[in-house]
Structure 1
Amino acid sequence: MGRLNRRLEALLSLPQTERRALLEELGQARARRLRSAWRVWAGDDQKPPPGDWRIWLILAGRGFGKTRAGAEWVRGIAKNDGAARIALVGASLFEARSVMVEGESGVLAATPGGEDILWEPSLRRLAWPSGARATLYSAAEPESLRGPQHSHAWCDEIGKWSSGEAAWDNLMLGLRLGADPRTVATTTPRPVALVRRLFGDAESGKGGTVLTRGRTQDNRAHLAPGFIVAIEAAYGGTRLGRQELDGELIEDIEGGLWPRGLIEACRVRNVPALRRVVVAVDPPAGAGPGSDACGVVVAGLGEDGRGYVLADASAEGLRPEGWAAKVADTAAAWDADRVVAEANQGGAMVRSVLQAAGRILPLRLIHASRGKSARAEPVAALYETGRVGHAGTFPALEDEMAGMTIGGGYEGPGRSPDRADALVYALTELMLGRAVDPGVRKL
């Protein structure tokens, strides 16, 4: 054992690039035996930083190894601290279980076969022989974190948390056990309030927050062959690629119709009784895989006179009968009063599928007679005056909104803001009408 430890320490003393090159030269059998030795395989930025930190924020692109880094940190704490009480917080309980615990890079996968660990899904609890315990929580239920006390926490994909700051604050107020409470937060960067807040704390040195940045490319040795080439060809240099692959925190674009802060300010937790509900559709120009998305957005008009965005049910890669059926199902699920569809591309298809499904539902076909900016600007003005609320978070839709600029430009994900166009149609139908928005002519 002593000789093995000395060899391991010698391997660890090598620079990361030399260590990985040497590991690649090993035979498969030896490599498999070493795979559970995280200290050997881990990149330098996947290991806890030195110093007296309280929050370790890992802001990195997809495939960087954020999940494995979080799982290994939890495993190390639990193995060495029998009094540890750890919170595992995901965007939902499903994601906490399927990614943080049972996933390919989760806690169970990171645990060598010789180590005992008790996983009790019904109790949302992990238990180690040391006496340490970990409990799963959903950030979508921030009140569940009010009351429990913890010594450590791992928070995954905080950029996706629907009630981000509320869940985080409740967690922090309960992080009061042990001599050195610490939290690891792992996420692909999204410019939402909580990520901005922690990023700002790290930049200013506030609150004991330290930051690790990382790119997908940094972990290419452990990713499927061809993956890097394919995603760089598809997304390299784009706004989406800079965020999702390079781990950049992308802020507002110049001249944007919907600044990120404006979108964040319109979040609502409660929706009043609704006078009307509409499903708006922006049909794609093409058909099948590789075509644009079919924008499908549900919005309602509240008794308080405000408009509320209720759901983004957009579909990708479907043939016309497929996305039209999705529209019919969405209208039924929300008991919509009307479907609004752009006639230019596929409004007639929407009509025929609704009729075939037996949905006797008013359908308004509209013809977009002016540019996207002319249609969107009056709707953006509704946001500026506080007349629209978002009942939750809709990342794909909101990314498109943030990419639309004054003058008709678009710098968001995808070739076209299909979701955002559907949103414009929905809120125009509910709140503006023909007299206010000359860019949409109702047929």
Structure 2
Amino acid sequence: MARAAEEWETWAHESQLPPRGPWRTWVFLGGRGAGKTRAGAEWIKALIRDGRARRIALIAPTLLDARAVMLEGPSGLLSGWGERPQFAPSLRRLEWRNGAVAHFFSAEDPPSLRGPQFDAAWGDEFCFWAHPQETLDTLAHALRLGDAPRLAITTTPRPLPALLDLLQRKDTQVTQASTFANRRNLSRAFIAGLEAAYRGTPAQRQEIGGELIEQLEGALWSREQLERLRVESAPELDRIVVAVDPPLTVGAGADACGIVAAGACGQDLERRAFVLADASVQGASPEAWSARVAALAREVGAHAIIAEGNAGGELVRTTLRLVAGDVPVSLRHARFSKRERAQPVALLYAHGRVKHVGVMPALEEEMCAFGAKDFRGSPDRMDALVWAIDDLLLHPALPNVRRL
């Protein structure tokens, strides 16, 4: 066991090791592939090995993430050096020979942390939790065993209010690492793909560098703004649409097909839109993306499908009509640039007239990067969003009765 600890400390880069000195919360901000999960797992193993923790909470964005990444993943608690604990899936529990027990939880369900008590906790991908602040607050009351209960957070950074608040606390220590700090454990193909995707883009410092970027200069939206506009559910909506930004080509290098569902309710200046889902898909054939559009339209009870017709025109309409059933399909033609079309929608966000139901990471990442210096690529998800909000608030059709 001691040898396992020595080997890990030899192999780990500095940011993967817990800070020296007193702290209650350790936040490890890292780029993609920076070794965040391994750092969290090895910290938990060390606590158990040394007898410093016997009741542990493991929190992930979803229960599936907890099992697939924190437990069974190549860097998880069931991998690597040291003792392999007994895994009881039905109980969502790991058990070590010395009696230590770890339970795993989903950040989708903060109340599940009420009742249990722990002397250590590890939260993975905090910035992708559905309810970060509520989960953190509930966990704080559960971390009450032992002389010095501690929490480790491992995440790719996003400027969430919950994270910003956590970083400002006096008992929080931070380590930070780029993807390249863990280069020797990553394939060349992975690094090349990551660089191709992000190098020269506003998101490079965040996704590769692991830096916390609060606002990209020139971007039309900010993450802090979107957090303020987030809600858990939508009211009864009088019109629901699925908007589509079709791609020109198919395959690995093709643009994504932007597919966004949104609805609205209210009258005149009191009318509000609610973004319901992002079902965008990259590289799919027309048959595949149109089927995805139709499925989303059925799921949300859409009254119409709105599709950009600049590329494909009537072929796009025909493709969608074949699968849309009785949902009307309308084409829209862009006469202005993407930025010119997005600006009125961004203004509606600034006035609080658009809300996001839940978290849509890929869409929101694109929104918060669009318009910033060095932005490149096609903002297909955002484009679909713009068409949806344009239909609902800027050029609204007559309200419909929502189908049940």
Using the size of structure 1 for normalisation, the TM-score is 0.83
The whole-number CA distance in structure 2 between the counterparts of 1:255 and 1:61 is 23
**Could you say which residue in structure 1 is the equivalent of 2:90?**
122
Match of 1:84 in 2: 54
Q: Does 1:97 align with 2:97?
A: no
- The 5-angstrom pairing of residues 30-429 of structure 1 reads 37-81=7-51, 84-112=54-82, 115=83, 117-199=85-167, 201=168, 206-302=169-265, 305-357=271-323, 359-405=325-371, 411-412=374-375, 415-429=377-391
Partner of 2:400: none
Matched with 2:402 is none
Tell me the percent identity: 47
Q: Is the 8 A contact 2:309 2:316 kept in 1?
A: no
Residue 171 of structure 2 aligns with an amino acid whose one-letter code is G
What's the secondary structure of 2:282's corresponding residue? coil
Query: In the TM superposition, what is the alpha-carbon distance from 1:411 to its structure 2 partner?
Result: 4.9
Distance in 2 (CA, whole Å) between partners of 1:154 and 1:147 is 18
Q: For 1:324 and 1:59, how far apart are their aligned partners in 2?
A: 38
How big is the shift at 1:260?
Answer: 2.2
Task: Give the match for residue 433 of structure 1.
Answer: 395
> Structure 2: how far apart are the matches of 1:395 and 1:403?
12
8 Å CA contact retained: 2:247, 2:257: yes
Equivalent-residue separation in structure 1 for 2:333 and 2:124 (angstroms)? 43
By how many angstroms is 1:92 displaced?
Answer: 0.4
Give SS of 2:163's match.
helix
* Uncovered stretches (5+) of structure 2, i.e. residues with no partner: 398-404
1:230 CA displacement: 4.3
Residues 415 and 428 (structure 1), Cα distance of their counterparts in 2 relative to 1, 3 Å cut: same
- 1:35 is displaced (CA, Å) by 10
Tell me the alpha carbon deviations over residues 171-219 of structure 1, each in whole angstroms, 9 at most, x when there is no partner: 11221111111011001112222222233x2xxxx33111101011111
Residue 36 of structure 1 and its aligned partner are, at CA, apart by 9.1
CA gap 1:322/1:347 in 2 versus in 1, 3 angstroms: farther
* Shift, 1:61, TM fit: 1.0
Root mean square deviation of aligned Cα:
2.3
Cα separation, 2, equivalents of 1:180 and 1:83:
10
Deviations 1:288-309 (A, max 9, x none): 2211111110001135832100
CA distance in structure 2 between the aligned counterparts of 1:249 and 1:419, rounded to whole angstroms? 23
Change (3 A) 1:46 1:196: same
Which residue identity does 2:40 align to in structure 1?
G
SS in structure 2 at match of 1:239: coil
1:337 Cα deviation from its structure 2 partner: 0.6
Count of aligned positions:
394
- Distance in 1, matches of 2:177 and 2:365, equals 22
One-letter amino acid matched to 1:78: I
Structure number, greater radius of gyration: 1
Q: Is the 8 A contact 2:16 2:36 kept in 1?
A: yes
> Does the CA contact (< 8 Å) of 1:354 and 1:360 recur in 2?
no
Cα deviation 1:329-382 (Å, max 9, x = unaligned): 221222211000111013434422333236121111111111223322222222
TM-score normalised by structure 2 residue count:
0.91
Q: Aligned equivalents of 1:378 and 1:193: distance in 2? A: 26
Asked whether the 8 Å contact 1:79–1:128 carries over to 2, the reply is: no
**Deviation of 1:259 (Å):** 2.4
Query: Judging changes above 3 Å, is the alpha-carbon distance between structure 1 residues 170 and 316 closer, same or farther for their aligned structure 2 residues?
Result: same
Are the counterparts in 1 of residues 202 and 373 from structure 2 also a CA contact under 8 Å?
no
Highest RCO, 1 vs 2 (Cα 8 Å, sep ≥ 6):
2
Q: Contact (CA 8 Å) 1:36, 1:110: kept in 2 or not?
A: no
Q: Tell me how far 1:410 sits from its aligned partner.
A: 6.8
| Conserved 8 A contact 1:157-1:186 | yes
Deviation of residue 274 (structure 1)?
1.5
Contact 2:203/2:369 (8 A) holds in 1: no
| Letter matched to residue 421 of structure 1 | D
Determine helix, strand or coil for the equivalent of 2:366: helix
Residue identity in the other structure for 2:389: L
Query: What are the ranges of 5 or more consecutive residues in structure 1 without an aligned counterpart?
Result: 9-33, 436-443
For residues 229-285 of structure 1, the C-alpha deviation after alignment (integer angstroms, 9 at most, x for no partner) is: 443344323222221111111221223322222211100012111211100011123
Tell me by how many angstroms 1:111 deviates. 4.7
How far is 1:49 from its partner? 1.4
